Structure 1
C-alpha cells in the first residue's frame, strides 16, 4: 500500500531569503511546515552563516530541482584578513592571528586576479560534500580530516567593491561563479597569497540561476502570513514549476502531441532544436515538463508534471 503524504498538494518554487544561523535543511523544513506542504526540497546548500537566495521546490517542481543545483550563483561577501579559522568562516574556531595592517587595497586587487576564470579548489572540510555517505562537515566536527581532490570551477566575475585597512582588514567582494564554487576557499586562498590568512565573515547569495534577491521573500513575512491564516497570500509567492527551466529552449506541442507525450511516446515537432534537453509546453501555454530531442528529431518525454 502506498504511503499517504501528510500535507496539502503545494506546487511551485519559492525563493526564500534565508536568514543567518539556519541550515538550508532547517530553512526548508520550517517553510514546508508553514505551507503545510506534502512534498518539498531545496536546491543546494547554503552555509548557516550565509543569507540570501535559496530556491525551494514544492510538489511537482521538485522534479526539476537539478537544473537549479547546476545553475550559476552570485555572492556578496566580506573577507576578514589577518585571522584564520578552522572552518574558513566566522563560525569556526580561531586558529591563527596575523597583523594585516600592511596589506593595501592594490595588493588585494592584484591578488584577486589569479582567482578569475577556471580555477582549481580543494573543498573545505566544512563543506556539504559527502564521503562514504557522510557530509564532510560532520567529519570535521568530529576532528576527522580526509583527503579531498581538487575540483575545477569557474569564477566568471570577481570584483573588489570596498577595502577597509587595519590589523583585521576587510575586503568586500562580489563574485559570479559556477556551481560547486566555495567562497570560503577563495577567502582562505587569498589569505595565503597575501601571507596574513583570511576568512569569510559575511556571505550573501544574491542570485541562483534565474532567481535574484528581488524575487525572494523573508521568513518573518511568511511566518506573519501564516499566523494570520493567509495561505492564499503565501501561495501567491510561489513561482511556476518551469521558472527554473527558462534557459532551456521551448518546444510547443498541439493538444494531440501533448496527449501522446503524456503517454510516454516521442512525438515529432516541426522546427524543434536538433538535439539536447528542451522545455515542453502545449500551444495553450500549459507546461508539460522536460523532453529530449532524439536522433530522428522527435521529442521524447524525460520529466513530466502530473495533471492536476
Structure 2
C-alpha cells in the first residue's frame, strides 16, 4: 500500500505513447538538460526522447528536444552552430568558471577601454585552441569529468580546437561609468556564436585572464541553434498550463515536424519505389549529389524518410531511416505549432 507521506508513491505513473516531433524548449535556470528533458518527456508522455546539446544548470534558453523518430537526427543537430548571450563578471575566478562554483581568487580590475576589450575579444575569433572546464560533462574512462572534479581528483585538460564565429561586446556600462557600489565586480555583456564543442565558460575564463583580472560566467542564455535561428520557444510553465487548461491534443500542437530539423542536411528526394528499396536496407544507384556527404532523404511530397549517405560514385545508402520509410501511402501525423 502506498504511503501518504511519500509524494513519489502518490504520483500517478506516466503511461507513455509513441510520439514524433521536435520541441523547442526554453530551459529554465537551475535544471540540468537531462532533468528538463525528463520533465517534458513525462509531460508529453513520449516513449522516447533526447536533447541536442547540454546546457549547464545555470544557463537558460533554447534546448531542442527530439521525441520518437526525431532522435535519429539528434546527433547531427549536436554539431550545429549556436548563439549565446552571456554576462562575464570580471575580477572573480571560480572553480567551475561560472557563478555556480566556489570562488578561487579575486583580483582588482585594471582600467579598461572599449578598444582594449574589443582587441581582446578578437583574439578568440576563428579556429582557436580551447581548454574545456574540468567541471564538464566530457567523459574520461567512461565517467563525466565533473564527478571526478567533485571528488577532488587532479584533472589535466588538453586544449582542443574549436571554432568561434563571433565574440562581441554588447554592453560594458558599469565598467566605464564608475558607479559600482560596495566593491561589486564589473560585468561585460557579450554575444557569442560558435561551433560544436565550444565552451562559453572557457571563453569568458580566458578573456578574463587576457584582461588581467580573471572572470567567470554570471549569466548565460542560448539564443538559437541551427537550423532554428528564430525559435518559438516554450517554457515549462507554459507547457504545463497548456496541458492543464487545453489538453494533450493542443499540447501536441507545440511540436515541430521532424522535417524542420532536417534542413541543415543537403536534400535528396526519392519516389515510392526507391523509398521502399531504401527501407529494406538496399542502396540506390546514382548519381546523387553531393557525393561523400550525409543527406536528408525526403519523399516526393517532402515528408522526411531519414538520413542517408552518398558514396564517392554517387550511390545513395540508408543510414538512419524513420520507421515509415519503407511504406507508401501511409501517413504519420506529426502536429505543428499553431
**Fold conserved (TM > 0.5)?**
yes
CA contact (8 A) 1:52 1:213 kept: no
The TM-score, its normalising length taken from structure 2, stands at 0.86
- The corresponding residue for 2:51 is 42
CA contact (8 A) 1:67 1:244 kept: no
Structure 1 residues 70 and 135: alpha-carbon distance in aligned structure 2, compared to 1, 3 A threshold? same
CA distance in 1, matches of 2:228, 2:53: 14
Structure 1 residues 263 and 96: alpha-carbon distance in aligned structure 2, compared to 1, 3 A threshold? same
CA contact (8 A) 1:73 1:205 kept: yes
CA distance in 1, matches of 2:145, 2:65: 23
Q: Per the alignment, in what secondary structure is the counterpart of residue 180 of structure 1?
A: coil
CA contact (8 A) 2:82 2:226 kept: yes
Structure 1: segments with no counterpart, 5+ residues: none
CA contact (8 A) 1:101 1:169 kept: no
CA distance in 2, matches of 1:90, 1:242: 38
Number of equivalent positions = 304
Structure 2: segments with no counterpart, 5+ residues: 1-13, 325-331, 333-338
CA contact (8 A) 2:87 2:220 kept: yes
1:268-292: CA deviations, max 9, x gaps? Answer: 3566433311111111222111111
- The corresponding residue for 2:208 is 191
Segment drifting more, 41-50 vs 242-251:
242-251
Counterpart mapping for 1:1-308 below 5 A: 7-100=16-109, 102-163=111-172, 164-165=174-175, 166=180, 168-212=185-229, 214-228=231-245, 230-269=247-286, 272-307=289-324, 308=332
Q: Per the alignment, in what secondary structure is the counterpart of residue 211 of structure 1?
A: coil
CA contact (8 A) 1:160 1:174 kept: yes
CA distance in 1, matches of 2:187, 2:289: 51
Relative to its length, the structure with more strand (as a share) is 1
Structure 1 residue 144 displacement after superposition: 1.9
Segment drifting more, 95-104 vs 181-190:
95-104
CA contact (8 A) 1:53 1:212 kept: no
Segment drifting more, 21-30 vs 227-236:
227-236
CA contact (8 A) 1:242 1:289 kept: no
1:47-72: CA deviations, max 9, x gaps? Answer: 00000010111000011111111111
